[in-house]
Each structure stands twice: as C-alpha cells, then as structure tokens.
C-alpha cells in the first residue's frame, strides 16, 4: 500500500512523526516532506490550554483516502502518503495531525503535504473544541460542507 | 419509523445521539426538520441550517430517503487539522 490513513485516539497513543516518515520512505523516493498540526496557546486573542478533537471516524478515513488518491493523481503514482488525525483531547504543544509525503523529488512532496492538509481542513468531518485558561470552552467555527442539494 | 442521528461538534451538547420518530420514507430534509426542536433548545438552529447529514460512506443529499433503523450523523461545519 502506498497510502496510510488513520484516525487515532490520541489519549491512548500519541501521533509519531518518525512513523510517518518511515512509511513514506522508498528506494525510489529522494524526498520526504512532513506537516504537523500543533495545539498553540492562543487563538483570536484568547489563551488556550488545550483542544479536543471530535471525529466521525469512518467518513473521515474515507475522505482522507479520497484526498490522497487525488494527490497521487495530481503529483504522481510514486508518491507515498501517510495521514493520521487525532481524536480526543490534547494540551498545548500536542500533535493533532501528521501528514508525510514521499516522492522522487521535493516539489511533489511539498505540494502533496500542502494539498492534503488544505483539503482535510475543508472537507473532512473533524471538529475542534478549544479550552481556554479562563475555564470556558468553544467549538471553533469551521467550513460548512457543500450546500444542500 | 425511528432513525438515530449521531451528534458531533457543537451538537455534542445534546448528547451522543438522538433517536427521532419520523414519517416512513422520510428524506434528509424531514430529518433536519425533526431536529429543529432539540437544536433550538441549545441555540443551534443556525448551525443546523448549515450542517449536512451523512452515513458511514457518504454525505447525503437532501432528497435522500431514510429507512427504519438507519444510523446517520450530523456534520456541522468542519474545523479539522
């Protein structure tokens, strides 16, 4: 398999960048690119202490697979892609998503990582609830999926 | 007939899921209408309006027909990554 997609319970097993890079490594690939999403300690002027990620896992994994297939069609079949998105609560500094792409040349690897994260942010059924230092929590306003048919 | 709607994101405030009694062969528009009352209790009517419904394989069109015992998911605007 050239693609690995996964929703992982990050309260049990943290995401691992070395696992992602190892998966996309191949003798014919001269480049490996890595993207990680990290919980930061502020958003829109509010101090954040953690984020909970809610995921509809079956459909999320299917959307990840579709996005990866699109990326391989655009940037070439030799591409190997790893996507793991966290589900559960993370504190500041925790990894929420790890994407890695391996390809013969660096251009494709960078492009694939960028494409995959942008598409996930607008298409995949994942929701983020921020927890603030003042004790309040709020679901982040997101992207509506395509309009009603 | 009865269908279950799993709740995600902002709708989690209403619990893990809702069981709805809807007319036989109800479509997604009717499921959305059946969710208006619980959504209103949590001030989620604007979010309901921009949410989609899905099963484990696909996001469903408004005209898609449901069957007794179906398990759906409501997908409010997404914010992953």
Q: Which CATH number fits domain A3-139: 3.90.1310.10, 3.40.50.2000, 3.40.50.1820, 3.90.1170.40?
A: 3.90.1170.40
On whether residue B81 sits in a domain, the answer given is no
Average per-residue pLDDT for chain A: 96
**What is the DSSP track for A64-130?**
HHHHHHHHHHHH-TT-EEEEEEEEEEEETT-EEEEEEEEESSHHHHHHHHHHHHHHHHHHS-EEEEE
Average pLDDT (A83-102) is 98
CB pair distance less than 8 Å for B81 and A148: no
Sign of CA dihedral A132, A136, A137, A141: negative
Of all residues in chain A, what percent carry a pLDDT higher than 70?
A: 98
CB pair distance less than 8 Å for B78 and A149: no
Closest residue, chain A, to B77 (C-alpha): A144
The tens-digit pLDDT sequence of chain B (81 residues) is 999 999 999 999 999 999 999 999 999 999 999 999 999 999 999 999 999 999 999 999 999 999 999 999 999 999 999
On whether residue B17 sits in a domain, the answer given is yes
Residues spanned by the domain of B47: 2-75
On whether residue B57 sits in a domain, the answer given is yes
pLDDT at residue A1 is higher than 90: no
CB pair distance less than 8 Å for A145 and B75: yes
On whether residue B80 sits in a domain, the answer given is no
pLDDT at residue A61 is higher than 70: yes
Average pLDDT (A43-72) is 97
CB pair distance less than 8 Å for B77 and A142: yes
Q: Which of 7-66 (B) contact A at CB < 8 A?
A: 8-10, 12, 29, 50-52, 54, 56-59, 61-63
Identify which of A61, A100, A108, A67 has the alpha carbon closest to the alpha carbon of residue A81: A100
On whether residue B27 sits in a domain, the answer given is yes
ipTM (interface pTM): 0.96
Query: Does A44 lie at the interface with B, CB-CB under 8 angstroms?
Result: no
Specify whether the CB–CB gap between B25 and B64 falls below 8 A.
no
Number of domain units in chain B: 1
Instruction: For strands A80-91 and A95-103, give the pairing.
Output: antiparallel
Interface A-B, measured as beta-carbon pairs within 8 A, has a size of: 93
pLDDT of amino acid A103: 97
Predicted confidence band at A147 (pLDDT cuts at 50, 70, 90)?
low
CA distances (Å), origin A115, targets A13, A48, A112, A143: 26, 27, 5, 16
Extents of the domains making up chain A: 3-139
In chain B, what residues touch A36 (CB-CB under 8 Å)?
none
Average pLDDT (A8-37) is 97
On whether residue B69 sits in a domain, the answer given is yes
CATH number, residue B23:
3.10.20.90
pLDDT at residue A149 is higher than 80: no
């Amino acid at each position: 398999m050239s693609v690995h997609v996964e929703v992982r319970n990050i309260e049990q097993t943290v995401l691992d960048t070395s696992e992602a890079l190892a998966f996309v490594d191949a003798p014919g690939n001269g480049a490996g690119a890595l993207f990680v999403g990290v919980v930061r300690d502020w958003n829109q002027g509010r101090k954040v202490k953690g984020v909970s990620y809610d995921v509809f896992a079956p459909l999320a994994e299917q959307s990840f697979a579709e996005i990866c297939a699109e990326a391989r069609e655009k940037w070439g079949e030799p591409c190997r892609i790893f996507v793991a998105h966290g589900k559960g609560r993370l504190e500041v500094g925790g990894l929420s998503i790890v994407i890695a792409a391996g390809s013969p040349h660096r251009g494709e690897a960078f492009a694939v990582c960028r494409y995959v994260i942008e598409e996930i942010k607008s298409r995949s059924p994942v929701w983020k609830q921020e927890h603030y230092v003042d004790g309040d929590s709020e679901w982040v306003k997101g992207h509506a999926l395509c309009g009603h048919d | 007939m009865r269908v279950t709607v799993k709740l995600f994101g902002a709708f989690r405030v209403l619990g893990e899921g809702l069981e709805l009694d809807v007319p036989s062969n109800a479509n997604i528009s009717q499921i959305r209408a059946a969710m208006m009352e619980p959504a209103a209790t949590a001030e989620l009517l604007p979010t309901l309006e921009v949410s989609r419904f899905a099963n484990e394989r696909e996001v469903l069109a408004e005209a898609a027909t449901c069957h007794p015992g179906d398990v759906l998911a409501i997908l409010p605007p997404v914010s992953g990554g």
